Amino acid sequence: MELRAERRRLSNAANAVLTMQAAGLEPLTPYPGTVKKWQCLCLECGNEVTPTHDKVKQTGRGCPSCSLKKRGLEHRLGADEAAAVMRAAGLEPTSAIPNLKPPMAM
Ligand SMILES: [Zn+2]
């Protein structure tokens, strides 16, 4: 019985590590449990972040500052695509595309 519990604990921990890695994080400490802050290194920006496994599992987002940047990038790509559509139609946009949200103030 004890062996089985130990094995389950180990496989939970291994799955938790995989969840964090999928979100771009490298855990720095052993799995603390799903709702406890877990010290991880963001592989994108190199910052240390302390999300909970539970939150990362639910949102798929690891590092808060990188996920903010990614959302900003999506907006910019949207603007570039819109400009490309205009150019394809033979038009050259001469001003910023209306109705795009201004960049979020940090
Ligand atoms: Zn990051």
What digits encode the pLDDT tens for the residues 45-103?
999 999 999 999 999 999 988 988 877 777 776 777 778 888 888 988 787 766 655 56
Q: How far is the CA of 38 from the centre of ligand 1 (A)?
A: 15
CB 20 within 8 A of CB 56: yes
Q: How far is the CA of 9 from the centre of ligand 1 (A)?
A: 28
The whole-number pLDDT of residue 67 equals 86
Tell whether 14 is covered by a domain.
yes
Tell whether 105 is covered by a domain.
no
Q: How far apart are CA 74 and CA 70, in angstroms?
A: 6
Using CB atoms within 10 A of its CB, is residue 74 exposed (0-12), middle (13-18) or buried (19+)?
exposed
Tell whether 79 is covered by a domain.
no
Q: How far is the CA of 85 from the centre of ligand 1 (A)?
A: 32
Q: How far is the CA of 25 from the centre of ligand 1 (A)?
A: 8
Range of the domain at 9: 2-61
> What is the tally of structural domains in the chain?
1
Tell whether 100 is covered by a domain.
no
Alpha helices in 1-106 (DSSP H): 2-22, 53-59, 64-88
